[in-house]
Structure 1
Amino acid sequence: MDAINIRHYFFYLASLVIIIAGLKVASEIVVILFLAIFISSIFSTLLRILERRHIPRVISYILVISIFILISLLLAYIVNISLKNFISNMPQYEQQLQGLVVKIIALGETYGVVVDKKMILDALNFSSFFGFTTNIIGSIGTFLSKFLLIVIGVAFILAESKSFERKLKVIFKQNSEELEHFNLFSHNIQKYFLVKSTTSFLTGFIIAVGLIIFDVDYPILWGVIAMLFNFVPVVGSIIASIPAILLSLVSLDLNTTLFLIVFYVVINISISNIIEPKLMGKELGLSPLVIFFSLILWGWVLGIVGMFLAVPITMTLKIAFSSNKSTQWLAVLMSDIPSKKEAKG
């Protein structure tokens, strides 16, 4: 029996490696498919709400697709315009940042700290940093530029949602327990995406308003970046805050920048660690170790978009495992049980 079990485990491991390799090769198509599925799970909730208000399904369907297209076009427009302005002003920001570093070095020299100014400026390499920021924003712009294919995918998935429910009833008509498992899985997935999308929008909106108050350049762009990077745990909020903080440092003053850092920290901690867990429920928690390795894995498989999708994909797998008794042990391994015990204590 042990030899048979070991062969089974090696078979599952080999299958997993083949699947991951296939996903990496077909990453461009897979990204569009995953995005269409995840976005559909969010907008299907809105579709059901409209239908419950006795709005005809065709009209509800057109309204939902129109809202999605409008949001996608708005995001693409904001990122495109802001990116062009940011690139045109980048040499000016680079000079201001270099001037700030020179002042800091001069201040250090007055206290007897002698350093090689040229070596420091070369080591910091501002051009590379701003290039990295531009590449990130450019990747988001490329991602938004594929929205036509995503819209078509979302449209077909939402159109097939009713018939898909009927197909499931036919498939599981002899096994009501399996249908119940799938319904639980579907409900939890929709709950996760709805809550995560809501908290991400809230994060981006509050940060955009805050940056307007602080008078930082491109507040809406950094708000959109904060909203999107809220899907990337741990490092996402840090990466999203760096451009706005640096712009504040070079164009405003140190006190404003310090207040801005505190503002970012308070908003991200409040929403990610307080509001989001309460709305999602403790059963949808992921282990920090699982989150870390999921970022590495899906970032490698699907590129930068994979980092945005890492937690949603991993959460989908966890919910799928927890919806079936035979795979619940995998869901337990992926869950954040220690945090639950600490919360109870």
Structure 2
Amino acid sequence: MQPLVIAVLLFLLIRPAAQWLEERPLMQGKYAHPLMPYGVLVAMLFLVLWMASQLLYANLTAFTDEVPMLTQQLNDKVTWLEGISIMGYSFDISGLTELFSVETIDQYIASFVGSLASFTVNVATVFIFLLFIILEAETLPRRVKAAYPSDAERIEDITSNAGEGINTYVVTRATVAFGQAVIAGIMLWYLDVPGWFMWASITFMMDFIPYVGALISLIPPILLGLIILSPTWAIILIVVLVTNQQVWGALVEPQLAGQRLDMSPIVLLLLVAFWGWAWGIMGMVLGVPLAVIMKIALESDPRTRPIAMMLSRDPKVAEEE
């Protein structure tokens, strides 16, 4: 079910861009076809994902080679901390060496690689569903109009508005995630933190989980910084990463996503929690786009419009005469 939902959301996302491409002179030549714009966009999306996966795999391989050295540095830091005594009290953090041993980290990496393999299979399934949706898109409006002549216009409005809402959300969210990932990646690269591109990529992907994703993505690079950097540079790294997340998450993102989507923050949080419970991490990513579609569908019917107003962040109140 998840791949089908993702494929539908992807179609709604690329539809405005495909319509824009369709009007370009290059797409209106002798051999032009209505499906060409979709083919170009899907090919570009596939190319971007393939290039990112190659860079991520190379960075992950390099990080794996440095695991023994990182483990030794962790042991040295633990020994140093256990030797410190404050008012007669000493630190006992020997459990960290077991938690971050070579074997444990190898298990984490193997689990991550397995997740990437599963993700690759899901991506292939999504592209297959997307292909069939694109092929059906040309004839679907005519069939809807023939089957539901009285509701065809309303259904078309729902589809169009849903696509616009999802496009707004994804573009703004991707902008915030990309900006945050770039700054984090530059800082990690400058400090020579192992796996810097991998952590930047995880920062980008986790930011699509509202409210908690970006915070969770800070944990691995901060832990690495505490292990391999001096105390001064470790503190600088923590300050930069946390400030970067707070600026994008607390200042930029609410202005771009919350107000433009006109969704109550508490409603978004509850919906993300529900879809996370139902579908796991992917459900948390899909929670907001599904909320956008639900709100637009509720707004289209006078009987359910009050529910849509309750979901809004700033609903319009009719002026009393």
Would you call these one fold, judging by a TM-score over 0.5? yes
1:98 to 75, 80, 85: 75
Task: Tell me how far 1:226 sits from its aligned partner.
Answer: 1.0
**Counterpart pick for 2:99 among 110, 119, 125:** 125
The residue identity in structure 2 corresponding to 1:55 is L
Q: In structure 1, which of residues 235, 238, 246 is the aligned counterpart of residue 212 of structure 2?
A: 235
2:271 alignment partner in structure 1: 294
Of 113, 127, 134 in structure 2, the residue corresponding to residue 151 of structure 1 is 127
Q: What does 1:15-164 align with in structure 2 at a 5 Å threshold?
A: 30-56=1-27, 57-107=34-84, 109=85, 111-116=87-92, 118=94, 120-121=95-96, 125-127=99-101, 130=105, 131=107, 135=111, 138-164=114-140
Deviations 1:49-76 (A, max 9, x none): 2112233244423321210111221232
TM-score normalised per structure 2: 0.80
Q: Give the 3 Å change call, closer, same or farther, for CA 95–323 of structure 1 in structure 2.
A: farther
Change (3 A) 1:55 1:262: farther
In structure 2, what is the equivalent of residue 262 of structure 1? 239
Is 2:297 the partner of 1:326?
no
> In 1, distance between residues paired with 2:235 and 2:120?
32
- The alpha-carbon deviation at position 110 of structure 1 amounts to 5.3
Matched, 1:304 2:304: no
Q: 1:306 to 1:136 in 2, by over 3 A?
A: farther
Output the amino acid matched with 1:160: E
For structure 1, the 5+ residue unaligned runs are: 1-29, 341-345
Paired with 1:214 and 1:170, the residues of 2 have a C-alpha distance of 63
User: Of the candidates 184, 198, 220, which is equivalent to residue 207 of structure 1?
Assistant: 184
Matches of residues 165-180 of structure 1 in structure 2 within 5 Å?
165-175=141-151, 176-180=153-157
| 2:194 is equivalent to residue 194 of structure 1 | no
C-alpha contact 1:82 1:221 (8 A) present in aligned 2: yes
> Which SS does the other structure have where 2:210 is aligned?
coil
2:89 alignment partner, SS class: coil
Deviations for 1:150-200, whole angstroms, at most 9, x for unmatched residues? Answer: 222223323433333444444553244454344333322332223223333
Which among 256, 262, 279 is matched to residue 279 of structure 1?
A: 256
Number of residue pairs aligned between Structure 1 and Structure 2: 307
Tell me the secondary structure at the aligned position of residue 326 of structure 1.
Answer: coil
Given candidates 178, 191, 195, the residue that maps to 1:218 is 195
**Which whole-Å CA distance do the structure 2 matches of 1:69 and 1:292 have between them?**
31
- Equivalent pairs: percent with the same residue? 26
Amino acid aligned to 2:243: V
Q: Deviations over 1:290-338 (max 9, x none)?
A: 3444344323322332232233333332333234332233334444459
1:301 counterpart letter in structure 2: A
Task: Quote the Cα distance in structure 2 between the aligned partners of 1:313 and 1:121.
Answer: 40
Unaligned runs of 5+ in 2: 28-33, 317-321
Structure-1 residue corresponding to 2:161: 184
Distance 1:214 1:323 in 2: 52
TM-score (norm 1): 0.75
Task: Please say if residues 226 and 234 of structure 2, whose CA atoms lie closer than 8 Å, have aligned partners that are also in contact.
Answer: yes
* Alignment match, 2:30: none
Listed one character per residue, the Cα deviations across residues 257-310 of structure 1 (whole Å, up to 9, x for unaligned) are 222222223332333333334334625244444344434432332233223223
Aligned partners of 2:168 and 2:144: how far apart in 1?
20
Contact 2:4 2:126 in 1 (8 A): yes
Q: Which amino acid aligns with 2:209?
A: V
CA distance in 1, matches of 2:314, 2:99: 43
| Greater share of helix | 1
Greater alpha carbon shift after TM alignment, 153-162 vs 30-39: 153-162
